[in-house]
Structure 1
Amino acid sequence: MKTNVLLIGLICGLFFPSCKETKTEKAPKEDFIVTDSVTQRIDATLKSFVDSGNIAGVSALIFEKDKEVYFNALGHANIAENQPMERSTIVQIYSMTKPITGTALMTLYEDGKFDLDDPLEKYAPEFANMKVYVGEDASGKPILEDANRPITIRDITRHTAGFPRSGNTPLGKMVDETDALNRNNTLTQMAEKMGKLPLQFHPGEEWLYGPCVDVQAFLVERISGVPYQQYVREHVLDKLGMTETRYFIPEGDRDRFASLYRRKGEGELERDTITYSNYLEKWPLTRGGSGLTSTLDDYMKFARMLVHEGSLDSVQILQPETVKLMATNQLADSITERHFLPSKGQVGFGIDFAVRTAPPANAEENNGVVGEFFWDGAASTLFWVDPVNELTAVLFVQLFPYDGIGLHKSFRDAVYGPISTNN
């Protein structure tokens, strides 16, 4: 494996100069993306969403070329209690947990514990001899066929494993009945239950967002022999000083925990009371795909580690060539079924990140720079890493359903300016 990493590093250094050691030379002020006028534009954009009543509160933090170039927090973390949104507010990050899990997994890759194209069943026999659901017979019995090939570790890092989703279909109902992601399950129990479900498609044929990253957390636990929560704490979070990125919020910090709101209509918000308890008790299931809470500064440490190609403040989490690999599109053109991924713009998918492969095709698409990698969360949170401009951005809001108001696009447009399709 070390040979693989060195070879990738040689290629990376030849063709991707940014993979070399972090630059220390600072750009002139006029070369910054986030200037004083851009700051004013971002402020006005975020304020307009709060003033409209479509979000309770919002906060954003941007670093560029190792400098903090933007911070603001507006509105409320809790409307009823008149609690302001602040820099130290704790939020539910949902799927922004996923890149952290992927990072933990790739530390084991660097240690030579697996190859990406290894069959998952090599380490997890729970996923051996998988079947694919192809319909039902006249009596309503599922029709299954053997998978064309085993699920690989690469599949679970790019959402091409074929794991089915919950829903109002015969296969979706089987997922619901199996209840693999019940928070009272351990990761091992989750894997045992998932391995008994048929796949929705043959591995590698489609991109379908689902529980792949939960399986990554299980794999970290299985390969390392250490409980996942302990492993990610020791190998990623604590090393970066991310002490407030947690599955469980202790009582002394709960006054900083933001409420999550459901948008019922224009300017109409209703506080959600269902998810809050997920973080006030210690559950057996420590999902890799969601479940963490964080603060702006904590998550920015993670983003800045990535823009520095694996290290921050002399602490090394991953090698530069590994970060480059994670930020490289892993989806072949033959994978045409891609669930909601096209809604993110001109992107592919790497290892637990969307990866921007082309400029926006029109002004309606999300703005961004080719080479950027990013992800978001169900409560409408967002982060991205822009290696071209050495820029990292974190946007926190607590809103269901996921960004139906165009907040992400408006924020991106405020940062980069109006989209030009002439490039």
Structure 2
Amino acid sequence: MKPVFGYVTTAAVAVLAATIASGQAQQRATPPQARAAGPAPVARLPMRRNAVLPTTQALFDGYVRSGKMPGIVGAFGVGDLPTQFVTAGAQGLEPGQRPADADTLWRVYSMTKPITGMAAMMLVEDGKLSLDEPLGDIFPAFRSMKVLTDPDTSLASRPAARPITIRNLLTHTAGLGYNIITKGPLLKEYERLGILPGAVNAAVEVQAHQVRPKSLAEFANRVATLPLIADPGTKWSYSIGLDVMGAVVEKVSGMSFERFVQTRIFTPLGMTRSYWQVPRDRQGLLSTNYTFVGDKVVPLDPAATSTFLDAPSFAYGGAGLVMSARDYDRFLHMLQDEGELDGVRVMKPETVRLAMSNLLPAGVFFTGIGGGTGGTQAPVPMGFGAGGSVYLADKPNGPGKGTYGWGGAAGTIAWVDPVKRARGTVMVNYFPAERWPTRAQIPAALAQDVARLAPR
């Protein structure tokens, strides 16, 4: 999660705007008969060039040409200039696959978390939640939590020193575990009770569905029966906190979690390619998710039989969404513009600023996370906001102080720099997220493009 336009000069932005406008004028001047009637075949993909960001385009082309990934899409924006989409490759490796583009659907996994975080902050803005409200006030089962005393060998526990709060859920400081990182006896309990909020493919989902709770409320209440790994508010540990937050949003708002997100975020922002379950008539837009066996790329969740075509057990607030680059860019653009997009306001400016600030409890620090999670590394001091990390200092030639964002387990990346009004989304789908150094290479390529645009 590294921003790239964070150090663009005013003059460079002006040049960028002129370049974009010139490109749009040329496109309008192209005779209709000279334009493709539909998606270009994969064989013509090298012809799809981004003239504004040629270094980034070349990098993306190289990823595909060398077989590192079937396809990749980037969405990059500065201020309210038109979003620049950089695309390469196709939605899958099989012959005849649709080219990857701004409307291709990707599994964003943990990039769902910032959306859930903003849904919760909307309820804070509505006066229906407060950051330091005990979770037990909403779900009474959380009023008497226990903390493990010997997590490596047993489930022995003691009473928690303090209650879990809404702040703790949003910032991964609730003391909750996560089946992707938790180990030992607690992991076995998570598996036994179906605390598995995420889908991989149809085969895995059939097994998980048998033990997983059937609703968000049931999910939350089962979580409350398990001990914590630490006292709430004392440690940052990646967790199911945003999945539990989905249950909170549902109960407090009085509507299903997915309906709340649709009503308060997706619909007003014009996000028309964001789904918990991909409709069958949109299946043709869905990419295939891959994994690596040695150096071989192997389909893990083929688009034609994807588990995301079926209804989930419940809407996973921490990892459940399938989205297009165009839609995620609209979400980030709203955050960049402090709660408003295209004249439609969904959050107050002060709410957005609070959500993207460091919300960690006093004395707790975020030091980064990797290991296949898709989370942010920590090259500079970091904090944590509502579902995403926050830079607490500028990084030379990189992220600006205040940059907020997160990534996904299948390699997706998203960030927004609210100070310099810049944002970026990168969509790919393969496990593990860290297979290729995209988080270092893409910002470097973008930086070269921006430097080229700057006056000399």
Question: TM > 0.5 between the two?
Answer: yes
d(CA) in 2 for partners of 1:333, 1:115: 17
1:260 maps to: 289
Kindly state the Cα deviation for residue 48 of structure 1 after the two structures are TM-superposed. 2.1
- Is 2:167 the partner of 1:154? yes
d(CA) in 2 for partners of 1:369, 1:269: 35
RMSD: 2.7
**Residue number among 360, 379, 384 corresponding to 1:349 in the alignment:** 384
- 1:178-197 aligned within 5 A: 178-181=193-196, 182=208, 184-185=212-213, 186-197=215-226
d(CA) in 1 for partners of 2:155, 2:111: 35
2:6 maps to: none
- Is 2:301 the partner of 1:273? yes
2:254 maps to: 225
2:442 maps to: 411
Decide whether aligned partners of structure 1 residues 342 and 117 sit closer, same or farther in structure 2, where only a CA change above 3 A counts: same
SS at match of 1:395: strand
d(CA) in 2 for partners of 1:55, 1:320: 38
Give the counterpart letter for 2:63 in structure 1: F
- 1:110-121 aligned within 5 A: 110-121=125-136
Decide whether aligned partners of structure 1 residues 304 and 123 sit closer, same or farther in structure 2, where only a CA change above 3 A counts: same
Query: Structure 1: 5+ residue runs without aligned partners?
Result: 1-25, 419-423
1:388 maps to: 419
- Is 2:100 the partner of 1:100? no
d(CA) in 1 for partners of 2:359, 2:119: 19
Deviations 1:307-349 (A, max 9, x none): 0100111211111111111111123573257561772432211
d(CA) in 2 for partners of 1:161, 1:32: 47
SS at match of 1:371: coil
**Residue number among 360, 369, 373 corresponding to 2:400 in the alignment:** 369
SS at match of 1:142: coil
152-161 or 350-359: which moved more? 350-359
Decide whether aligned partners of structure 1 residues 141 and 57 sit closer, same or farther in structure 2, where only a CA change above 3 A counts: closer
Give the counterpart letter for 2:383 in structure 1: G
1:12 maps to: none
Give the counterpart letter for 1:193 in structure 2: R
Decide whether aligned partners of structure 1 residues 258 and 34 sit closer, same or farther in structure 2, where only a CA change above 3 A counts: farther
1:58 maps to: 72
Give the counterpart letter for 1:180 in structure 2: I
SS at match of 1:343: coil
Decide whether aligned partners of structure 1 residues 338 and 197 sit closer, same or farther in structure 2, where only a CA change above 3 A counts: farther
Q: Would the aligned equivalents of 1:33 and 1:389 in 2 still touch at CA under 8 Å? A: no
Q: Would the aligned equivalents of 2:193 and 2:222 in 1 still touch at CA under 8 Å? A: yes
Q: Would the aligned equivalents of 1:60 and 1:73 in 2 still touch at CA under 8 Å? A: yes
1:331 maps to: 360
Q: Would the aligned equivalents of 1:49 and 1:407 in 2 still touch at CA under 8 Å? A: no
Decide whether aligned partners of structure 1 residues 133 and 198 sit closer, same or farther in structure 2, where only a CA change above 3 A counts: same
Identity over aligned pairs, percent: 31
Q: Would the aligned equivalents of 1:27 and 1:65 in 2 still touch at CA under 8 Å? A: no
Q: Would the aligned equivalents of 2:17 and 2:81 in 1 still touch at CA under 8 Å? A: no
Decide whether aligned partners of structure 1 residues 136 and 312 sit closer, same or farther in structure 2, where only a CA change above 3 A counts: closer
Q: Would the aligned equivalents of 2:142 and 2:224 in 1 still touch at CA under 8 Å? A: yes
Aligned positions, number:
388
Q: Would the aligned equivalents of 1:93 and 1:294 in 2 still touch at CA under 8 Å? A: yes
SS at match of 1:383: strand
Q: Would the aligned equivalents of 1:33 and 1:416 in 2 still touch at CA under 8 Å? A: no
Kindly state the Cα deviation for residue 136 of structure 1 after the two structures are TM-superposed. 7.1
Deviations 1:204-250 (A, max 9, x none): 11111110000111001111111111111111111111121011111
Kindly state the Cα deviation for residue 77 of structure 1 after the two structures are TM-superposed. 0.8
d(CA) in 2 for partners of 1:376, 1:290: 11
Runs of 4+ in 1 over 4 A off after TM superposition: 26-38, 336-339
Give the counterpart letter for 2:440 in structure 1: K
SS at match of 1:67: coil
d(CA) in 1 for partners of 2:364, 2:169: 15
Deviations 1:41-82 (A, max 9, x none): 211222222222111110111121211252221012111133
Kindly state the Cα deviation for residue 141 of structure 1 after the two structures are TM-superposed. 5.4
Kindly state the Cα deviation for residue 251 of structure 1 after the two structures are TM-superposed. 1.1
Decide whether aligned partners of structure 1 residues 69 and 240 sit closer, same or farther in structure 2, where only a CA change above 3 A counts: closer
Deviations 1:249-281 (A, max 9, x none): 111110110001112344x31111389633111
Give the counterpart letter for 2:57 in structure 1: D
d(CA) in 1 for partners of 2:362, 2:248: 28
1:298 maps to: 327
Kindly state the Cα deviation for residue 180 of structure 1 after the two structures are TM-superposed. 2.4
Q: Would the aligned equivalents of 2:174 and 2:241 in 1 still touch at CA under 8 Å? A: yes
Decide whether aligned partners of structure 1 residues 134 and 158 sit closer, same or farther in structure 2, where only a CA change above 3 A counts: same
Kindly state the Cα deviation for residue 283 of structure 1 after the two structures are TM-superposed. 2.6
- The alignment's TM-score, normalised by the length of structure 2, stands at 0.79
d(CA) in 2 for partners of 1:298, 1:197: 36
- The alignment's TM-score, normalised by the length of structure 1, stands at 0.85
d(CA) in 2 for partners of 1:287, 1:405: 27
Kindly state the Cα deviation for residue 34 of structure 1 after the two structures are TM-superposed. 9.0
